[in-house]
Structure 1
């Protein structure tokens, strides 16, 4: 502000500094220039920053006079200091470039010495770095211009103008003389002929990128934003983002790259013979105008059908996280301004990718712990076919209170359980685990469903929690078809008879567990006919609408789908197809075949430890022995081959114990292999998500399964998955 007693003010000082920066940028063809003055805390603070956008937004605002930067060295020594030039002779010894600036540059600094004092430093920056040292004539001109500035500032100081830096710098867009564009650099930024239009366009894209990355919650979201806000603005036709993990580069997302190139690059060692790895390790972006230029430096680069490529390191907190590659079908030259904005984009992309990766890792850990509370596999009972699905809420952190269970009981009896503890928290999961154990223990003791829920309710009331829960418990005698049912505030099971009719048993609803400790729960008996289907579910399947009242129920259940697995998948797909599900979903489907298993409903199974070296050969022998006993010798060869492929895949890639089950039907044989890894072992192309990418190659051996099986699929369960295969058995 002006002092009424003085003719001049700091505003005059700053105008003189701005005029000097304009002259320097114009005469030397620089990108940016800064005027630093000494602050009260004895650091150098920028008073005026001028130049082209976006580089002006990255310049250091304050510099300690003891730091190994050219600006500080010029102030300390009183002489010209340089850094970032291609030859050591052109740069001052011991100088470093500021790590905050996200792109390489050359810098020259001169002290500003008035007659009475050294007041600051004039610093000039070139982006990209100069290919040659500053000519002697330009150095002389810069000395003279800085000297003239110092004399003017000295005069202002003698008139009482403060020469100490303030808190905030003035930032000026100074475009200087127009740089001659090389062929291939006209990328369509802004409107030609309008000064500053390209620069404002740069900043617009940066703003949009930052805004959209702030809303991205997953790695897939980040990759979608990268495609729209990094690949597209530069006119690239392909992009690929790698993340570094254990010395290898794994693809987090890609678009426009040939499948062959993607497969060769995914998971390959991050050695410096790769341009992307070299860019990451050196923290230096690499720009290749043509394929020939790339092959000169990296003769073994993967063939990707692209003419020009750019490799931009992603280094949040100055740590190597990954690299973003942009590809172009024609020769492409990046202007200095584009190089600056590209690295500013990586500055934004890095933290967003890091945050999304950590969020997904935390959610995966939570889901893994949650699924540990669910049954590892469903019980096999002659005369009954079952399957289950569990899907955590999309908005939750992988935790919830829904569960299902199957409990074997004496005398060909089985208990089916589905429950729901309120909330989506750690407490919900803990209470769910306690309730599941309680219900299992009481049912195993032989109590009826009503008594089991009554005891579980008392237990929940004694726990240190305010959470309530609902539950549906069904026990079924498979020899008679008699079912006993009790519910505690939970939707009753949906029953589909063999004729396709849908009913729900008339049950007293009962209070949810945990409300009144002395509440009694009653048991209702019903009889099931052969080929009856039971559906037990939590309300997340229908978003709080009773399933039997939903308008799509008959469409989903009539006519019946061919397997309980297909039906379960159909229900889950329909529940999540048109909106994000905000509640957990637990679904248990049981097909009661009838009281007598008969000669065509035989079951056999075997279990293998994850480190059993003889598992595959033992599984083959198990298949041969079982089918020979059943008189199905014609199916031994194909079934053994299928078993070898699936068991090998499970042991190697799932790294878990493996259960092999063989079930006979009148017209086909079903082979089931269960492991504890929920990742689908399906030969799919590499997609945008890191986890899917890492496992995509794992299913390649299953192509033989597709060739030999009548049909096959992947059934997710609470703790893993079951690969099932059907083989025709026509007499």
Structure 2
């Protein structure tokens, strides 16, 4: 896989956990830069982090293709940079034919080509397959390569154009808003990294050919930033690291650090303005997007310089802040800013911001996420460790949401302060370190331990550590004590929710198969994911049955409603349909009897259901459908098609209504997917568009897996993970999800039968 004009990104080191596919980060199995097949986990957050370390345009494009979401196909992708004459010049590409390099090597930003439109409109510009056929003379650019849509992303930093990133996508017709958010984040990361490279690297290594063939001067965007006297900064919110460019150090009157690491916020912000900055930062972290803060910066010698910080909080696909980048500029005449409320008002504003962030958290994980994403950066803390009381013991809960190379620091901090943490639940007042005396090796420079008390009982404790020494004044102690009370109440509420939701989910899981049976001639895999909103347990179920005569039965259904009643009805329907099926009734008759059974139960609920049988010997499928989504057949030619099965009403709606019986055939090497609507249903997207998008992803997966590999147990498990990835990356999951995969193999030894089921929270 490669950018045509420069060396590609080096393949990432193999993750030792990559042998076990994850529902959250499925393995990437397309060719890497060196042509080998990799199985390292990928995620949008990981991609952005790697982009920020790239050293060239070609490496940036290679990283996007290797580490970005799997629906970025790679074929027909390109990266343009703005040259000295203001033209867009093709700098790196993958999968573009020679004629495209000749015809579109230089693009006029004033024209109507997609790259120009994206840069002029300052927003992503999308092309459907029909558009790629019309806009480009060679229809093969958009057909037959796995590419079904193209997006061009403007790369702009501080209103100055840097270039355009064009990517081919495995989408049909439309691209969901959540995927556009991911693409825009990737484009922004590329833009900021390119601007940083152009600003810091030797200009001779970054010259682009000018329109007349001569050497170009340094790009205008970097010249504009330098001429303005602004300083650039970036903060990694995952690791806590912060960086300045040379201009920022000059603005602060400080010597340039060799590694560019910026001083802590407390060292550069005037003490009277620090509460305002923390409050404004907490608001920006909670909301994401652009922000602007005015404050006084302390220079060496004690002089204070009014500055304005203009930045943007970048979010990952889960909506969590991962990075801040922006500019620092000196304000010649101090404008009225956020520091006018006074320290007491600013601390109140900070507490309100933290309260709002915690009030939106429902689960314990969401509470700890709010603490690490909002409270930790706002306080300027190095790390935060949360311990909860569980059967008289303190158990850590925050490590699972703290990432990056400094992941071990909270554990080390907890170990160093273990005695204090263990003593915290017996106290009612917080403990603060004093900036006197020697510190043990590796101990934080300053720390605060907050007892967490809710409803008169100890909930846990919170350790906040700082990289620099500080004195905790009376106002600071009051602020941290109030924060401890709010945090304790949030954790207590979240623990109660988690307990109730866990019990309900376990009840539902207990009614589903623990494993799928190993059946001759087929491979299978299943997934179940409960809802994440409120107490919305549901009635989704699936089953794989041994039937008389060597046949196989596949059942999947969804009971209306999201409560305990739906789960109970689901259990009764599963048992009833299983009995009708094993008695030898065909799918139509079994559904008719199950519909009458539901109508006779003391409930107003109804259910959708799909029941089909397969004869592994000749591939004959008989199926009936009760208001349920039709199954999808993945052919040996990597096509994904919905089976045109006639359907009847949902179960329980018209008892006694017969269901039509359909006969199809599943060829050797073909795969069948049955699913509930929670897999594709999205509040932000039309249902049919979601289905078409899934079909496009299935076809892409089938092409990448290649002939002969589609039905292997590992490939089937990987496909199940890929199908659920889109669901697990949503901010919320209003419906539960069930899916069942069935592959007809020519002959599958018993030792290779797969019948796993995975459940996710």
2:275 maps to 189
1:545 maps to 687
Of 546, 553, 557, 2:699 maps to 557
Give, in angstroms, the shift of residue 231 of structure 1.
Answer: 3.2
Give, in angstroms, the shift of residue 234 of structure 1.
Answer: 3.6
Aligned equivalents of 1:577, 1:440: Cα separation in 2: 34
TM-score, normalised via structure 2 length: 0.51
Give, in angstroms, the shift of residue 250 of structure 1.
Answer: 1.8
Secondary structure of 2:624's partner? strand
Give, in angstroms, the shift of residue 265 of structure 1.
Answer: 7.2
Aligned equivalents of 1:335, 1:716: Cα separation in 2: 55
Listed one character per residue, the Cα deviations across residues 209-262 of structure 1 (whole Å, up to 9, x for unaligned) are 222222211223222332455434443222211112234322222558954454
Larger Rg, first or second structure (1 or 2):
1
Of 411, 436, 446, 2:584 maps to 446
Is residue 2:758 matched to residue 1:717?
A: yes
Listed one character per residue, the Cα deviations across residues 559-613 of structure 1 (whole Å, up to 9, x for unaligned) are 514411111111221345456432221111100113xx3xxx321xxxxxxxxxx
2:752 maps to 663
CA contact (8 A) 1:451 1:522 kept: no
Change (3 A) 1:576 1:263: closer
CA contact (8 A) 1:477 1:483 kept: yes
Is residue 2:523 matched to residue 1:385?
A: yes
Secondary structure of 2:483's partner? helix
Aligned equivalents of 1:451, 1:510: Cα separation in 2: 12
Aligned equivalents of 1:294, 1:476: Cα separation in 2: 70
Is residue 2:357 matched to residue 1:212?
A: yes
1:289 maps to 434
2:749 maps to 602
Aligned equivalents of 1:317, 1:397: Cα separation in 2: 23
Secondary structure of 2:549's partner? coil
CA contact (8 A) 1:205 1:229 kept: no
Is residue 2:734 matched to residue 1:582?
A: yes
Of 545, 561, 564, 1:423 maps to 561
CA contact (8 A) 1:316 1:350 kept: yes
Aligned equivalents of 2:580, 2:458: Cα separation in 1: 54
Secondary structure of 1:350's partner? helix
With 450-459 and 249-258 compared, the bigger mean Cα shift is at: 249-258
Change (3 A) 1:272 1:533: closer
Give, in angstroms, the shift of residue 515 of structure 1.
Answer: 0.9
Secondary structure of 2:687's partner? coil
Of 480, 484, 487, 1:346 maps to 484
Aligned equivalents of 2:506, 2:537: Cα separation in 1: 9
Secondary structure of 2:593's partner? helix
Secondary structure of 1:471's partner? strand
Aligned equivalents of 1:542, 1:272: Cα separation in 2: 47
Give, in angstroms, the shift of residue 369 of structure 1.
Answer: 0.9
Give, in angstroms, the shift of residue 424 of structure 1.
Answer: 0.7
Give, in angstroms, the shift of residue 498 of structure 1.
Answer: 1.9
Alignment of 1:484-523 (within 5 A): 484-523=622-661
Aligned equivalents of 2:502, 2:436: Cα separation in 1: 40
CA contact (8 A) 1:539 1:546 kept: no
Alignment of 1:228-377 (within 5 A): 230-253=375-398, 258-263=406-411, 274-290=419-435, 292=437, 304-377=442-515
Listed one character per residue, the Cα deviations across residues 67-107 of structure 1 (whole Å, up to 9, x for unaligned) are xxxxxxxxxxxxxxxxxxxxxxxxxxxxxxxxxxxxxxxxx
Aligned equivalents of 1:291, 1:378: Cα separation in 2: 63
TM-score, normalised via structure 1 length: 0.53
CA contact (8 A) 1:450 1:522 kept: yes
CA contact (8 A) 1:314 1:321 kept: yes
Aligned equivalents of 2:436, 2:633: Cα separation in 1: 65
What is the CA RMSD across the aligned residues, in angstroms? Answer: 3.1
Aligned equivalents of 2:361, 2:439: Cα separation in 1: 33
1:200 maps to 345
Change (3 A) 1:503 1:370: same
2:613 maps to 475
- Number of residue-to-residue matches in the alignment: 416
Change (3 A) 1:413 1:338: same
Give, in angstroms, the shift of residue 405 of structure 1.
Answer: 0.6
Listed one character per residue, the Cα deviations across residues 649-690 of structure 1 (whole Å, up to 9, x for unaligned) are xxxxxxxxxxxxx327xxxxxxx7x9xxxxxxxxxxxxxxxx
Give, in angstroms, the shift of residue 316 of structure 1.
Answer: 1.4
Change (3 A) 1:532 1:305: same
Secondary structure of 2:432's partner? strand
With 427-436 and 526-535 compared, the bigger mean Cα shift is at: 526-535
Secondary structure of 1:321's partner? strand
Change (3 A) 1:533 1:339: same
CA contact (8 A) 2:629 2:675 kept: yes
Change (3 A) 1:340 1:548: closer
Of 559, 573, 578, 2:725 maps to 573
Give, in angstroms, the shift of residue 546 of structure 1.
Answer: 5.2
Change (3 A) 1:207 1:580: closer
Give, in angstroms, the shift of residue 315 of structure 1.
Answer: 1.3
CA contact (8 A) 1:556 1:570 kept: no
CA contact (8 A) 2:701 2:719 kept: no
Listed one character per residue, the Cα deviations across residues 432-471 of structure 1 (whole Å, up to 9, x for unaligned) are 1111111101001111111110110111110011111111
Give, in angstroms, the shift of residue 529 of structure 1.
Answer: 1.5
Aligned equivalents of 1:542, 1:215: Cα separation in 2: 26
Give, in angstroms, the shift of residue 324 of structure 1.
Answer: 1.2
Give, in angstroms, the shift of residue 528 of structure 1.
Answer: 2.1
Is residue 2:548 matched to residue 1:401?
A: no
Secondary structure of 2:479's partner? helix
Q: Unaligned stretches of 5+ in structure 1?
A: 1-183, 296-302, 604-661, 665-671, 675-714, 722-731
Aligned equivalents of 1:347, 1:509: Cα separation in 2: 56
Aligned equivalents of 1:317, 1:293: Cα separation in 2: 38
Change (3 A) 1:474 1:292: farther
2:34 maps to none
CA contact (8 A) 1:185 1:333 kept: no
1:653 maps to none
Aligned equivalents of 2:476, 2:394: Cα separation in 1: 26
With 470-479 and 519-528 compared, the bigger mean Cα shift is at: 519-528
Secondary structure of 1:406's partner? strand
Aligned equivalents of 2:666, 2:373: Cα separation in 1: 56
CA contact (8 A) 1:370 1:398 kept: no
Change (3 A) 1:396 1:375: farther
CA contact (8 A) 2:647 2:660 kept: no
Alignment of 1:18-29 (within 5 A): none
Is residue 2:681 matched to residue 1:592?
A: no
Is residue 2:674 matched to residue 1:536?
A: yes
2:82 maps to none
Aligned equivalents of 1:205, 1:548: Cα separation in 2: 41
Aligned equivalents of 2:413, 2:736: Cα separation in 1: 37
Aligned equivalents of 1:458, 1:537: Cα separation in 2: 23
Give, in angstroms, the shift of residue 427 of structure 1.
Answer: 1.1
